[in-house]
Structure 1
Amino acid sequence: MLFRSWAQVTDPAWPDVARVPDHVGGTHLLVTRHALVRQVLADPVTYRPDNALDAVTPMPATALRVLAGHRFRLPPTLANNSGANHPQIRAIVADALHPARVAAQQPWLTTLVRDRVAQIGATLAAGTPVDLYADLAADLPLLVLARLVELPDAPVDAVKEFARAALELFWAPLDPDRQVALAAEVGRFHRVLRDFAATGGGLAAELRAAGHAPDVVVGALFFLLVAGQETTSQFLTLLLHRLAGEPTVRAGLRTGEVAVADVVEEGLRLEPPIVTWRRVAATDTTLGGTAVPAGSSLVLWLGRAGRDPAVVESPDEFRPGQRGSRRHLAFGAGAHRCVGDVLARMEAAVVVAEAAPLLDGVTVVRPPWCPDNLTFRMPDAFVIAPARASSTEGARS
Structure 2
Amino acid sequence: MLFQGWGESVDERWPDVAVVADHVGVDHLVVTRHALVRQVLADPVTWRPDNALDAVTPLPVAALRVLAGHRFRLPPTLANNSSASHPAIRTVVAEALHPTRVAAQQPWLTGLVRQRVARLAAALDAGEPVDLYAELAADLPLLVLARLVELPDAPVEAVKDFARAALELFWAPLDTDRQLALAAEVGRFHTVLRDFAATGGGLAATLRADGHSPDVVVGALFFLLVAGQETTSQFLTLLLHRLTAEPAVRAGLRAGTVAVADVVEEGLRLEPPIVTWRRVAAVDATLGGTAVAAGTSVVLWLARAGRDPDVVATPGRFLPGQRGSRRHLAFGAGAHRCVGAHLARMEAAVVVTEAATLLDGVRVARPPWCPDNLTFRMPDSFVVRRG
TM-score per shorter chain, which class? Answer: over 0.9
Q: CA deviation at 1:216?
A: 0.1
Secondary structure of 1:307's aligned partner: coil
The question of whether the paired residues in 2 share the 8 Å contact of 1:5 and 1:275 is answered with no
* 1:348 counterpart letter in structure 2: A
Give the CA RMSD over aligned residues.
0.7
Structure 2 distance, partners of 1:112, 1:316, is 33
- Does structure 1 conserve the Cα–Cα contact (< 8 Å) formed by 2:19 and 2:28? yes
**Structure 1 segment 142-157 matched on structure 2, within 5 A:** 142-157=142-157
CA contact (8 A) 1:366 1:384 kept: yes
- Displacement of 1:118 in angstroms is 0.1
Percent identity over the alignment is 82
Q: Which amino acid is the alignment partner of residue 169 of structure 2?
A: L
The answer for the alignment partner of 2:71 in structure 1 is 71
- Deviation per CA, 1:175-206: give whole Å up to 9, x if none: 00100000000000000000000000000000
Aligned partners of 1:7, 1:319: CA distance in 2, in Å? 19
Mapped partners of 2:370, 2:213: distance in 1: 36
CA distance in 1, matches of 2:100, 2:2: 38
Equivalent residues of 1:6, 1:303 under 8 A apart: no
Secondary structure in structure 2 of the residue aligned to 1:277: strand
Q: Give yes or no for the alignment of 1:102 onto 2:102.
A: yes
Q: Which amino acid aligns with 1:345?
A: R
Aligned partner letter, 1:8? S
Corresponding position of 1:390: none
Identify the residue that residue 298 of structure 2 maps to in structure 1. Answer: 298
The answer to whether the 8 Å contact 2:2/2:173 transfers is no
2 CA distance for matches of 1:300 and 1:5? 13
Once residues 119 and 356 of structure 1 are traced to their aligned partners in structure 2, the CA distance between those partners, rounded to angstroms, is 14
Q: CA deviation at 1:8?
A: 1.9
| CA–CA distance in structure 1, aligned partners of residues 18 and 130 of structure 2 | 42
Q: 5+ residue gaps in structure 1?
A: 388-397
Q: CA deviation at 1:5?
A: 3.6
After the TM superposition, which residues 1-397 of structure 1 pair with which residues of structure 2 at under 5 Å, given as runs?
A: 2=2, 5-12=6-13, 14-387=14-387
Deviations 1:296-331 (A, max 9, x none): 000000000000000000000000000000000000
Q: Spell out, residue by residue over 1:250-281, the C-alpha distance to the aligned partner (whole angstroms, 9 max, x if none).
A: 00000000000000000000000000000000
Contact 2:311 2:327 survives alignment (8 Å): yes
Quote the Cα distance in structure 2 between the aligned partners of 1:228 and 1:323: 28
Alpha-carbon distance between aligned partners in 2 of 1:311 and 1:65, rounded to the nearest angstrom: 47
CA offsets, 1:54-96, max 9 Å, x none? 0000000000000011110000000000000000000000000
Distance 2:24 2:254 in 1: 49
Structure 2: state its 5+ residue gaps.
none
Query: TM-score if structure 2 supplies the norm length?
Result: 0.99
Is the contact made by 1:56 and 1:173 (CA closer than 8 Å) also made in structure 2? yes
Q: Deviation digits for residues 109-146 of structure 1, max 9, x if unmatched?
A: 00000000000000000000000000000000000000
Q: Secondary structure at the match of 1:300?
A: strand
Asked if the contact 2:128–2:385 (Cα under 8 Å) also holds between the matched residues in 1, the reply is yes
Q: Give 1:365 deviation, angstroms.
A: 0.4
Give the Cα–Cα distance (whole angstroms) in 2 for the partners of residues 25 and 132 of structure 1.
38
3-state SS of paired residue (1:384) = strand
CA distance in 2, matches of 1:6, 1:269: 15
Task: Say if 1:6 and 1:377, in contact at 8 Å, map to a contact too.
Answer: no
For residues 328-349 of structure 1, give each alpha carbon's deviation from its aligned partner in whole angstroms, at most 9, with x where no partner exists.
0000000000000000000000
- 1-structure distance, mates of 2:9, 2:74: 31
